[in-house]
Structure 1
Amino acid sequence: MNAPSSMFQDRIDAGLALATHLQHYKNVDGVTLAVPRGGVPVAFPVAKILQLPLEIILSKKIGHPTHKEFAIGAVSLTGQVISPHAFASDEYIKQETINIREQLKASYAQYMGERKPTPLKDKIVIIIDDGVATGYTLLSTIEMIRKEAPKKVVVAVPVASKQAAQKLSEVADEFVCAWIPSRFHSVGEFYEDFTQVSDEEVIKMLNPHPPPAGGGNEE
């Protein structure tokens, strides 16, 4: 797609640019799933413009038992993907899955409060992040989401490397990207402001209308 005239000002600006490429999904039976934390301020204006619910997709890698930084799989709140070459015992994978899922449940409650995830069956699912360098994390996310039988899986990002764009285009039903630069080193280089997003900012965007303090009517 055509490159913007300059870098994105910030993630909100990137989301506004991305939304122009997603107008055909306005008011569909779907949901936007942001990858926290950086994907949330990108997805926020997209969800608003498309008039779709905004939620988050949480996942975390399972590290190899002796080399934790080496991923042998990934776990989400509802799914799991394990490499066929994991070289780890079933018991280890089972226990790691339980531990990781507990962490994800705590994170989900922190961000979403008491809101329950929307069932994805027969929905158009739009996964949004602030950019993608390799695409490996999103590939496992797509695989887990497909287990919930959505109607369509769309991956949408403001910027991506050529390699990641190619991989994701092959796996997602549709890959939407506002900018695929000829040279790519990191996602942050395409933003004027790439400040880390705080938990408080994420919570505010995901819960724009919090209940009144006390939860009851004042006399």
Structure 2
Amino acid sequence: MIFRNRAEAGRQLAEKLAGFIERDALVLAVPRGGVVIAAEIVRMLNLNIDLIIPRKIGAPHNPEVAIGAVTQDGTTLFEPRLIELLGISRGELEDRVAYELEEIRRRMTLYGAGRNIGKSGGRQLIVVDDGVATGYTMQAALRSARSYGPKELVLAIPVAPRDTLELLEKEVDRTVCLMVPEDFYAVGQFYENFEQTKDEEVMEIMRRFSDL
């Protein structure tokens, strides 16, 4: 099974969600690709949207090496053994977290986000992305979403490998995943069109749907 594009995957997710989603549920999309998925869900189910932005924390001297993840409310996950192995000091770690938080704040402002997430307590929250691979940053996003006190926390994704999905299922009350393939190399292999989503597209979706 291959999705034509993110919009098609979003429509299929909306059909699965329609059976149990409440009228005041809030969709929290992970930029940038997850916002295109979420746009179809909020359009078909007449829901509201906001963003949740997890960022990988890279090692100080090798940013490609993930030593943790952080979200906009300061929720963090760390890899203590890797941090110890690389000899990363507390000061260096704090600097990396501060850098990523500043980038998250920049993106939240750019995208016009943050107006609805503070009103999410006691509501169903649906965290949406275009797929997950290792699930590390998504795990941080889900823990951040949980901290808002939702009535029910739902993860909605088109595709994920089985081991990652099992990890993330521990963080939520309900999971909707359209595909759990045995041979998983990258999220993009399950889309015919997986072009990078541009900032302008995210901004337009937020303008169109955030005040529903």
Q: Which has the higher helix share?
A: 2
Q: Secondary structure at the match of 1:20?
A: helix
Partner of 1:30: 25
Amino acid at match of 1:9: R
Seen in structure 2, the aligned counterparts of structure 1 residues 16 and 82 have a Cα distance that, compared at 3 Å, is closer
CA distance in 1, matches of 2:73, 2:116: 10
**TM-superposition CA deviations, 1:129-148 (whole Å, max 9, x none):** 11112212211211222222
CA distance in 2, matches of 1:164, 1:177: 12
**TM-superposition CA deviations, 1:132-181 (whole Å, max 9, x none):** 12212211211222222222221111111122222222222111111222
Determine whether 1:54 maps to 2:53.
no
Determine whether 1:78 maps to 2:77.
no
Partner of 2:102: 102
Q: Secondary structure at the match of 1:68?
A: strand
- Preserved CA contact (<8 Å) 1:8 1:192: yes
- Preserved CA contact (<8 Å) 2:68 2:79: no
CA distance in 2, matches of 1:54, 1:209: 6
CA offset at residue 117 of structure 1?
A: 4.1
Determine whether 1:8 maps to 2:3.
yes
CA distance in 1, matches of 2:79, 2:4: 42
Q: Which structure: larger Rg?
A: 1
- Preserved CA contact (<8 Å) 2:142 2:172: yes
Partner of 2:205: 205
- Preserved CA contact (<8 Å) 1:160 1:181: yes
- Preserved CA contact (<8 Å) 1:79 1:147: no
Q: TM-score when scaled to structure 2?
A: 0.85
Percent identity over the alignment is 34
Partner of 1:159: 159
Amino acid at match of 1:16: R
- Preserved CA contact (<8 Å) 1:10 1:194: yes
Residues 130-169 of structure 1 correspond to what in structure 2 (within 5 A)?
A: 130-169=130-169
How big is the alpha-carbon RMSD for the aligned residues of Structure 1 and Structure 2? 2.2
Greater alpha carbon shift after TM alignment, 173-182 vs 77-86: 77-86
Seen in structure 2, the aligned counterparts of structure 1 residues 162 and 209 have a Cα distance that, compared at 3 Å, is closer
CA distance in 1, matches of 2:20, 2:204: 24
CA offset at residue 11 of structure 1?
A: 0.5
Can you give the 5+ residue segments of structure 2 that lack an aligned partner in the other structure?
none
- Preserved CA contact (<8 Å) 1:25 1:50: no
Amino acid at match of 1:134: T
Determine whether 1:116 maps to 2:115.
yes
- Preserved CA contact (<8 Å) 1:27 1:51: no
Aligned residue pair count = 204
- Preserved CA contact (<8 Å) 1:59 1:77: yes
CA distance in 2, matches of 1:82, 1:186: 22
Can you give the 5+ residue segments of structure 1 that lack an aligned partner in the other structure?
1-5, 211-219
CA distance in 2, matches of 1:111, 1:59: 15
